Amino acid sequence: MKFPYGICDFEKMLTNGYFYVDRTDKIPLIEETGEYLLFLRPRRFGKSLVLSMLENYYDIAKAKQFEVLFGSLAIGQNPTPKHNQYFVMTWDFSAIDSTGSAQDIRQRLHNHINGCIEHFIVRYRDFLDHEIQLHPTDAIRSLQSVLAALESTPYKLYLLIDEYDNFANEVMMAGKSDSRDRYEALIQGEGALKAVFKAVKTGTKGLGIDRILITGVSPVVMSDISSGFNIAENIYLTLKFNDLCGFWESEILAALQQIAQECGFKEQQVYEALAMMRTFYDGYCFFYEQKSKLYNPTLALYFLKHLQDTCQYPRQILDDNLAMDRGKIIYISQLPHGEQVISAALNSEEPLAIAQLASRFGINEMLTATKDTPFMASLLYYFGVLTFGGNTPSGELILKIPNLVMRKLYVEQLQDLFLPDWTAREEVRRMTQQFYQTGHLQPLCQFMVKSYFKAFSNRNYLWTDELTVKTAFLTLLFNDTFYIMDSEPELDRQYADLTMIIRPDMRRYQLLDFLIEFKYVKLKEVGLTAEDVKQLSDDDLAAKDIVKEKLAESENQLKHYRQTLQSRYGSQLRLHSYSVVAVGYERVIHCEIK
């Protein structure tokens, strides 16, 4: 079995024996749903492969290959009458350089479309009697020539557009006014991009374009060009297309079982690997009420390919190609109040909740308008760093971080915000490495008061409570190379604040497992001034009634959680448990619970 990491060519995958998760059963549903469709998913989630599947299925030039490509798949057993009945053309806007002037980009856009038409001419030369004329500076005129040539045939055109919003994504990430000016020149008035979509719409009026499927990340561009292309039907929030991209856990398990045969794994190791993948890569949902979660296909294939090649888990659990998504979180964090949204996303107890997902906003709203939490949370959803997580009792949509690798991107951004100094980062790195091996937490508690809490207080956060303390320690301790970090894990119908369980493949090292419960006491609750609190010894502070009460409360919780963890992991667990109590921003005391 070969894993097709980075491959989105359907024909190559099927003819070369690559691992393929069959989604051809969705083809009849796509046909039935409508003629002009918009499908959104985060980057690197398999959208291009879907387009390639459709291209191979409908292409009249590939009719003789139908049995080879689709005979063993779901659609091959019961094909629709439309199979191999279209001319197909694919545009990929991610291939277009968005730098330079608006005129430069316009010409590259026309060059790309003309290049696609050149391939079209070569592919269908035996089906066309009428010659297609290419117009080097006017791809719209070239497209009109294509449609004119189709009139003498019994076939229509199926147009596939991949990464339609690439321009907007580039502009947004750059965040520069000149980038915005270039983008607006493309979509306003008779701008090049808007003009292209207007021409495509015109082509659907009996002139030869019969079906269109457009993919992208967000609805931004569709909002900006709505007056020029208002025929697209959104299918990205539809239950029947929830799994058009992504893998179900049963499909991951089947792949792991095949790898197990090659590597000589025992059944226990298969389910251990599945648990690892579930923690790091599962959790995506693209329908409001769907409870089953999907795996990110790029991340899953990265893990499976590495496991097959080496019979070991990848040491670096986050694929570098997905690490680029951190730029989306940086963008949000730089907006007014964006830091609070990023931090709130890490709060499992009170997750982000919005009335509805924002779907109609253009680039101006993204770059200039006042952003509220629903707006920013919606963008994080489209970027793939938040996903649907159910509903609140009042019916609002919960948006949550899908898995541990995405959580890492949030944590790293907070680390950059609160630890911009290289010296401080090195100090934290040394302290955390020592903590992983010895369980010595005192240096981190002291650092928290001396440096980290000052950054929190200076930014005037409103959420000064246990979440503040937990978020601070999470950003310092986070390490997915050695640990499975779980915030608010369910332990026998209760929720611990933080567990750090050694990854199974890392148990050969001298590392400890950790269970930590956090508490917060306001200065007015302890009845002392900030200066008074600073002067007390740890023992004297711990003897204060409210602090003693918090320590006792967390001790009882920790004893219960310890029993659950020990029954779950058995003798391999090297568990150290801590109660951590912050008193204002002035002191952090802790005690280890045996």
Q: Do 273 and 224 reside in the same domain of the chain?
A: no
- Give the 3-state secondary structure of residue 330: helix
Mean pLDDT across 548-564:
93
130 in the same domain as 75:
yes
How open is the CA angle 165-160-227, to the nearest 5 degrees? 50
Overall residue count recorded for the chain in this entry: 594
Q: For 308-312, what is the mean pLDDT?
A: 96
What pLDDT does 177 receive?
Answer: 62
> Two tokens at 516?
């930590």
- Tell me if 368 is assigned to some domain: no
Average pLDDT over residues 218-223: 85
Q: Is residue 395 part of a domain?
A: no
4 pLDDT more than 60: yes
Q: One-letter amino acid identity for 351?
A: P
**What torsion do the CA atoms of 47, 51, 56, 58 make, to the nearest 10 degrees?**
140
Query: Tokens 């493309």 belong to which residue?
Result: 186
Tokens 């089953």 identify what position? 292
Residues 230 and 256 in one domain: no
Kindly tell me the sign of the dihedral angle through the C-alpha atoms of 328, 448, 484, 316. Answer: positive
64, 70, 195 from 14: Cα distances, Å:
15, 9, 37
Strand positions, DSSP E, 205-283? 209-216, 233-234
267 and 225 housed in the same domain: no
At 172, the pLDDT band (50, 70, 90 cuts) reads low
Give the residue carrying structure tokens 């500076």: 137
Q: What percent of the chain has pLDDT over 70?
A: 94
Contact 485, 478 (CB under 8 A): yes
pLDDT at site 517: 94
The stretch 6-13 carries a mean pLDDT of 94
Q: What average pLDDT score do residues 505-520 get?
A: 95
pLDDT in tens, 392-428: 999 999 999 999 999 999 998 888 888 888 888 899 9
How many other C-beta atoms lie within 10 A of the C-beta of residue 515? 24
The helix/strand/coil state of 159 is strand
A 10 A CB-CB count for 94 gives 16
Is 258 in the same domain as 222? no
Q: What is the DSSP secondary structure assignment for residue 18, as one 8-state letter?
A: B
DSSP 86: E
* Confidence (pLDDT) at 461: 45
| Region for residue 527 given its phi and psi (left: phi exceeds 0; alpha: psi -120 to 50; beta: otherwise) | left
The DSSP element (H or E) to which 355 belongs, if any, is none
**97-136 residue pLDDT tens:** 888 888 888 999 999 999 999 999 999 999 999 999 999 9
Q: How many domains does the chain have?
A: 3
DSSP 581: E
Strands 36-40 and 209-216: parallel
User: In this structure, are 565 and 467 located in the same domain?
Assistant: yes
Encoded tokens for 584: 């204002």
Q: What is the model's pLDDT at position 577?
A: 96
Round to whole Å and give the CA distance between 208 and 149. 9
In a domain, 413, yes or no: no
Residue 102 lies in a domain: yes
Question: Does the structure show a pLDDT above 60 at 457?
Answer: no
Six-digit token pair at 128? 């066309």
Residues 227 and 298 in one domain: no
In a domain, 334, yes or no: no
Residues 19 and 51 in one domain: yes
Measured CA to CA, the distance from residue 465 to residue 550 in angstroms comes to 13
Q: Is beta strand 498-502 parallel, antiparallel or unpaired with respect to 483-487? A: antiparallel
pLDDT for 456 beyond 70? no
Instruction: Report the distance separating Cα 547 and Cα 553, nearest Å.
Output: 10
Q: Is pLDDT above 70 for 458?
A: no
The answer as to whether 78 is a domain residue is yes
Percent residues over pLDDT 90 in the chain: 65
Crossing angle of the two packed helices 192-203 and 102-123, in degrees rounded to 10: 30
Q: Are residues 230 and 253 in the same domain?
A: no
How far apart are the C-alpha atoms of 520 and 308, rounded to whole Å?
A: 46
pTM equals 0.90
Look at residue 492 in the predicted model and tell me its pLDDT. 67
Structural domain including 254 reads 249-283+294-323
What's the per-residue H, E or C state across 513-529?
EEEEEEEEECHHHHCCC
Cβ neighbours of residue 428 closer than 8 Å, sequence gap 6 or more: 419, 444, 447, 476
Q: Does residue 554 share a domain with residue 493? A: yes
Nearest to 581 by CA among 534, 518, 525: 518
Number of C-beta neighbours around residue 329 at 10 A? 23
Paired tokens of 144? 């009109």
Pairing of strands 233-234, 387-391: unpaired
Angle 343-349-352 (CA atoms, 0-180°, nearest 5)?
Answer: 50
d(CA 299, CA 321): 9
Using DSSP's 3-state secondary structure scheme, residue 415 falls into: helix
Q: What does the pLDDT average to over 380-390?
A: 92
Q: What is the pLDDT of residue 455?
A: 65
CA distance 349 to 347: 5
331 inside domain: no
In a domain, 398, yes or no: no
Task: Examine the domain organization and report whether 80 and 125 are in the same domain.
Answer: yes
Span 338-351, average pLDDT: 81
d(CA 8, CA 298): 11
Q: What pLDDT sits at residue 494?
A: 75
Q: How far is CA 542 from CA 81, 96, 521, 537, in A?
A: 76, 63, 11, 8
Over residues 288-307, the pLDDT tens digits come to 877 789 999 999 999 999 99
By the 8 A CB rule, do 209 and 147 touch? yes
Confidence of residue 462 (pLDDT cuts 50, 70, 90): very low
Residue 46, token pair as written in the block: 């398999």
List pLDDT tens digits, range 131-167.
Answer: 999 999 999 999 999 999 999 999 999 999 999 988 7
DSSP states of 273-321: HHHHHHHHH--B--STT--S-BB-HHHHHHHHHHHHHHSS--SS-S-HH
The structure tokens 């019969």 sit at: 210
Q: Are residues 121 and 67 in the same domain?
A: yes
Q: In CATH, what number is assigned to the domain containing residue 131?
A: 3.40.50
CA dist 516 and 513 (Å) reads 10
Backbone angles phi, psi at 291, to 5 degrees: -90, -30
Q: Rounded to 5 degrees, what are φ and ψ at 432?
A: -70, -40
- Secondary structure of residue 260 in the 3-state scheme: helix
- pLDDT band at residue 460 using 50, 70 and 90 as cut-offs: very low
Across the chain, mean pLDDT equals 90
Token couple for 484:
């499975």
SS3 state of residue 39 = strand
Q: Round to whole Å and give the CA distance between 519 and 467.
A: 9
In this prediction, residue 467 carries a pLDDT of: 79
Amino acid letter for position 187: I
Contact 132, 146 (CB under 8 A): yes
> Does residue 566 carry a pLDDT above 60?
yes
